[in-house]
A and B are shown apart, each in its own frame.
Chain A
């Protein structure tokens, strides 16, 4: 009951005119960014941080903006997947598998509307989940000491690598690079300058905005450059724009199951929307026994990943708000934005900043409604945006990126640093290292080292404090599980291959 009271208070915050307007702008921007091929939620959220700062928005409003953009991107990503067969972002890859065949069969309108409804249901299920689970987890997490926190972060990194599918080692290396980047600059405890090599611009560390924009904006610009040769034209949507009751009944259970799966996948640190949509698609494909046409335009195959990725986007707010450990690359950016406001995310946030937490949760409900209202009738307007050519889009992105980076410190050193980070990020990307892992590592790095050192100060250097409480045992058990899981999968794959070859 207490929760409902807080939620009511949250709606009070979320329905102030400023926050409603912000949520509306956020959902609009998010949908547009999400549907542009190549641009995903991380890019959208990263580009908006400097702007939210420049506007002087209060922390809860800018967090609402970022969350609305995040959710909007999960809606927008489906449009380019269905009509172009080019996923706007990684979590919409699965959507294209069944969405694009539907569009080619002339059912583009139905596909778009049913996936919007799926996204809405996913977001709704997950937001209810956030409302129920986040306060519980926060109450439990207050008992965390530095040692427990350290183990939790090790788990987050292990989870990231363990869930990364076919490249656990590359993900692990990428997140370690992120952790190392967080060490650059003056060490708060001892005053020693680390890895600055005499550069004044690095004295207070690599700025978060510089790293995010370098990694995601500059490297994206370089990737888009490769694709200028590949022209694609969008399929026209014609005929019926709205799904009918029969189609809704067909996907009913798929949507509910995928929403729940997506929410729990979203809670796992590091798994995020991409994994969630893949898991939901695969399990629905296995469960569909009656006229299974997955891959050729099955409505269930379209609804499952779309529901799951919206649910995961909301679910990933849970670890961010309660533990201060991001559940996905995008929430990592949001976490960074919070620290820019001098707000330390974690379990205490529920006590110290209830209007921020509950305002955010309430605005997830509101943004979700706005998105479904916007996405069904306005779909023709959004599809027009797909026609914007790269030569107009990319220079704009590049200039906004540069302004965002310059705005932090007003030095051109940061611009050069951003370019260097962007080029390195591009190379890492070409070699299949996930950049969101670098970012997650960077966000966790500072807190992780602080907690490790604090824990060891408490125990006077005894390492055994790291495994001295039941919570840490549980944490280490999960870490071991996450390390063993990819090994087991690899072993099973190899075993499956061997008998097949004569």
Chain B
């Protein structure tokens, strides 16, 4: 309950920042009665009202979320997973799709309790298969990165 209130308070701060940001939204020349500022401000006001209501009366959580409490261990894995995703995004173009997807898939397999050998094999198959499927068959251009010298 306390975490939810903290999160909601953080949301209120975000609304305030966004509302402040709208002060500069002036149409250079206006030919309609409602400018670009009104609608977002209306939404922010409604959001703030709703969020304050939830801070006062947060209500009960669904059972689905209640029976899997966030232990330190799970939290650690979540952070690792987000880190792996971010590194994947960061190296996506730098190392190219095949290499970054291979490394990323190993990390993900390991995170979801795959064994080392199976992880490496799965990752290699996935990286190559998805590259072939999307870049070659479906015409979604994917970066080759460090492999671009191979001339494939």
A, B bound: yes
Contact A54 B51 (CB under 8 A): no
In the complex the two chains form, what is the Cα distance from A86 to B36 in whole Å? 46
Known: A226-B78, A396-B126. 16 other contacts (CB 8 A): A54-B140, A173-B47, A173-B50, A189-B27, A192-B25, A222-B81, A391-B109, A391-B112, A395-B108, A395-B112, A402-B92, A415-B92, A419-B86, A430-B70, A431-B4, A457-B32
User: A225 at interface (Cβ–Cβ under 8 A)?
Assistant: yes
Instruction: Note all chain A residues with C-beta closer than 8 A to B21.
Output: 195, 197
7 closest pairs, A vs B, by CB?
A391-B114, A461-B33, A190-B27, A415-B89, A395-B108, A391-B112, A54-B138
Q: Does A183 contact B (CB under 8 A)?
A: yes
Q: Is the CB of B78 within 8 A of A449?
A: no
Contact with A along B63-74 (1 / 0, CB 8 A): 001001010001
Given contacts A222-B78, A399-B104, A432-B65, contact A406 B114 (CB under 8 A): no
From residue A139, how far is it (CB to closest CB) to chain B in Å? 31
Given contacts A225-B74, A452-B34, contact A391 B50 (CB under 8 A): no
Complex Cα–Cα for A389 and B122 (A): 12
B59 interfacial by beta-carbon distance below 8 Å = yes
Asked if A431 and B85 make an inter-chain contact with CB atoms under 8 angstroms apart, the answer reads no
Cβ A225 vs Cβ B111 within 8 A: yes
Inside 8 A of A54's CB, which chain B residues have their CB?
Answer: 134, 138-140
Asked if B34 and A461 make an inter-chain contact with CB atoms under 8 angstroms apart, the answer reads yes
Task: List 27 A-B pairs, Cβ < 8 Å.
Answer: A169-B59, A173-B51, A176-B47, A180-B44, A183-B40, A194-B25, A218-B85, A222-B78, A222-B81, A226-B78, A389-B112, A390-B112, A391-B109, A391-B112, A392-B114, A395-B108, A398-B85, A398-B108, A399-B101, A406-B140, A407-B140, A410-B141, A412-B93, A419-B82, A431-B7, A456-B33, A457-B33
Q: Tell me if B54 and A173 are in contact (CB < 8 A).
A: yes
- Let me know if B30 is at the binding interface, CB within 8 A: yes
Which residues from A are CB-within-8-Å of B44?
180
Residues of B within 8 A of A (CB-CB), count: 70
Q: What 0/1 pattern do residues 220 to 239 of A give for CB contact below 8 A with B?
A: 01101111100000000000
Chain A interface residue count, CB cutoff 8 Å, equals 67
A166, CB-defined interface residue at 8 Å: yes
**Is A55 a contact of B138 with CB atoms below 8 Å?**
yes
B92 and A412 within 8 A (CB): yes
A453 at the interface (CB under 8 A from B): yes
The answer to whether A190 and B30 have CB atoms under 8 Å apart is yes
- The reply to whether B119 and A391 form a contact with Cβ atoms under 8 Å apart is yes
Given A170-B54, A225-B112, A398-B108, check contact A192 B89 (CB 8 Å).
no
- C-alpha gap A227/B71 in the complex (Å): 12
Quote the shortest CB–CB distance from A272 to chain B (angstroms): 17
Residue from the list B25, B53, B113, B140 in contact with A391, Cβ < 8 A: B113
Q: Tell me which of A173, A187, A197, A402 contacts B88 (CB under 8 A).
A: A402
Complex Cα–Cα for A194 and B23 (A): 11
Contact (A395, B122) CB under 8 Å given A169-B54, A402-B89: yes
Which of A183, A226, A456 lies in contact with B68, CB distance below 8 A? A226
